Structure 1
């Protein structure tokens, strides 16, 4: 029996969900791919123990968030425009909302962005989010409050939308 048995199947089954999370954290598809690849390289090293004793998806999600936060020294991705494109026939409403959301998320701190992605995209509870981030539930509540206030300021047009629907 190979110590990596099941890893390929895990990646094939969860790759899209993990990539979406990485994308929402990074705000750029190429950087998200780099982040996910870096994390999966580390996860495979622990696979035999994870597949036997742990929860591979929770471990991978936590590693994804931790790696994202540790990349704080990297420059943030630049976006070509500070404002979304003009509303017109070439862009539908959902596309514009995704652009606005991506730009708004880029204005949050890394921890605030991680909290928003985990709470509202991954639909984790406050306790689960605290476990992933390695902080207290109170910190999750505080970061969520500050992040939502910042989002309301930088993108008031998103207030009426559900973040899960916009992110898809």
Structure 2
């Protein structure tokens, strides 16, 4: 069973917070910041990896500098809720790299996608590709005008035991 938030002690939470801020930090610096020596710190990081608390280490990139200046939140209403449609939909969105995130929702829409594209033409191609791959009852697209706050780091408590 994967550890829950209460299974992580203060040191583990501090290590995770440091890695979420900057995964390129040397072990020595992380160890110093969390109050450990290098070997115990490395062992804790290995345990956090093995238990699935840490799911990967990546470099974050500026979407504008990569030509993905348009962020679109796409609401999908499913034509039905059969396992077959859900599987087909999941397979379709896995094949479309512009889909950055997908959530199954409660409420008026069934799925919410965050899509990154470089132009309206690219969004139209995405839309056509998706709707050719799987039947959809309704699609609602909302275009972001400005990204005001963005983070990949969860606000974990690093002050209390």
Q: Greater RCO between the two (CA within 8 Å, min separation 6)?
A: 2
TM-score under structure 1 normalisation?
A: 0.28
Bigger radius of gyration: 2
Of Structure 1 and Structure 2, the greater strand share is in 2
Of Structure 1 and Structure 2, the greater helix share is in 1
